[in-house]
């Protein structure tokens, strides 16, 4: 027997709701939902969907939008479908807490989003000519620099996600452009530059709070300290420090990695390049922090 005192097996924070898995077994899940006002829950019948779905309102007011009109659900009301046969949408009028029981597990689809994004990021870097450990190296080095710079554990966690996922937006850059070793036309370069904003959009669309936060950093990883970067020409302290860290680490790794079309540069030459661009391309304090850990880089 398991007793959980206000503790769930697993939790996922979404931008508009918090989900806690209270129990799962034998194909059934019991999930506690806390919906913020305005949040929508959609149930959509799919081919082969045979699930029993049951929802019990614990508190708050939830509007049930059925094809026949609106119904207000309150504490003690429930909704049951087995299986669901038409599109059903619920909208939280106030903060709503409810218990959701389903015979077709879906909680892990939510909590797997982070892993799915990471798999996607690795496949993008490979498409871009890197070996599989590029994402991991960027993550490790960013964390080391972040620690030296005194980031909090929460900030380090988001930095870790953002670093791993920095180039995820390249999923939308056509292969012909991504694999061109040099000499992009102006138009092609404009498309390439959009991977920053596309990355933020991809992560925001997951509605997972931590990924949304990482997305804000991802969008800034090609900004420059002197304001000549992209996509928004931010400069100096306008750029998030987490993004400034990823910029330095990514530049270093890009220079020293062997790519499909060329061999990587020596570590010392790459370090020289970083130092030469301190204060123009790169945040000076980040460069200093990076140099303080340089002997730990292999």
Establish whether the linkage from the previous residue to 231 is cis, with ω within 30° of 0. Answer: yes
Is position 219 an interface residue for Fe ion (rule: CB under 5 A)?
Answer: no
Residues 6+ apart with CB under 8 A from 176: none
Region from 149-157, 175-183, 236-244, 245-253 binding Fe ion, contact rule CB under 5 A:
245-253
| Residue with smallest beta-carbon separation from Fe ion | 167
Is position 210 an interface residue for Fe ion (rule: CB under 5 A)?
Answer: no
Region from 47-55, 151-159, 244-252, 276-284 binding Fe ion, contact rule CB under 5 A:
244-252
Is position 29 an interface residue for Fe ion (rule: CB under 5 A)?
Answer: no
Region from 27-35, 181-189, 202-210, 249-257 binding Fe ion, contact rule CB under 5 A:
249-257
262-298 b/e with 16+ CB inside 10 Å = b?
eeebeeeebbeebeebbeebbbebbbebbbeeeeebe
Sheet with 69-73: list strands edge to edge: 40-43, 88-92, 62-66, 69-73
Distance of CA 256 to the CA centre of its chain: 26
Is position 242 an interface residue for Fe ion (rule: CB under 5 A)?
Answer: no
Distance of CA 295 to the CA centre of its chain: 31
Establish whether the linkage from the previous residue to 150 is cis, with ω within 30° of 0. Answer: no
Is the CB of 206 or the CB of 257 nearer to Fe ion?
Answer: 257
Q: Which of 29, 53, 167, 210 binds Fe ion (CB under 5 A)?
A: 167
> What is the C-alpha to C-alpha distance for residues 149 and 254, in angstroms, rounded to an integer?
22
Is position 250 an interface residue for Fe ion (rule: CB under 5 A)?
Answer: yes
Region from 77-85, 151-159, 167-175, 259-267 binding Fe ion, contact rule CB under 5 A:
167-175
Closest approach, Cβ 55 to Fe ion, in A, equals: 42
Binding site for Fe ion (CB under 5 A): 167, 250
């Amino acid at each position: 027997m398991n007793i959980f005192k206000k503790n769930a097996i697993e939790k996922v924070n979404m931008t508009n709701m918090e989900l806690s898995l209270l129990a799962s077994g034998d194909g059934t899940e019991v999930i506690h939902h806390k919906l913020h006002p305005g949040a929508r829950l959609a149930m959509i019948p799919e081919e082969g969907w045979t699930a029993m779905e049951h929802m019990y309102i614990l508190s708050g007011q939830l509007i049930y939008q059925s094809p026949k009109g609106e119904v207000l659900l309150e504490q003690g009301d429930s909704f049951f479908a087995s299986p669901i046969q038409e599109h059903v949408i619920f909208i939280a009028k106030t903060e709503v807490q409810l218990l959701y029981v389903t015979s077709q597990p879906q909680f892990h689809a939510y909590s797997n989003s982070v892993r799915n994004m990471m798999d996607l990021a690795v496949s993008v870097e490979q498409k871009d000519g890197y070996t599989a450990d590029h994402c991991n190296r960027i993550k490790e080095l960013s964390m080391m620099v972040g620690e030296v710079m005194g980031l909090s554990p929460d900030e380090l966690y988001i930095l870790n996600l953002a670093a791993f996922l920095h180039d995820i937006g390249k999923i939308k850059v056509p292969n012909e452009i991504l694999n061109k070793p040099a000499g992009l036309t102006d138009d092609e370069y404009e498309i390439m530059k959009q991977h920053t904003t596309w990355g933020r959009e991809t992560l925001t669309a997951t509605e997972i709070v931590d990924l949304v936060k990482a997305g804000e950093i991802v969008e800034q990883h090609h900004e420059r300290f002197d304001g000549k970067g992209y996509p928004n020409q931010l400069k100096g302290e306008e750029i998030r420090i987490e993004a400034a860290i990823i910029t330095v680490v990514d530049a270093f790794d890009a220079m020293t990695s062997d790519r499909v079309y060329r061999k990587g540069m020596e570590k010392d030459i790459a370090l020289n390049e970083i130092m030469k661009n301190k204060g123009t391309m790169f945040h000076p304090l980040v460069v200093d922090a990076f140099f303080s850990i340089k002997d730990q880089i292999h």
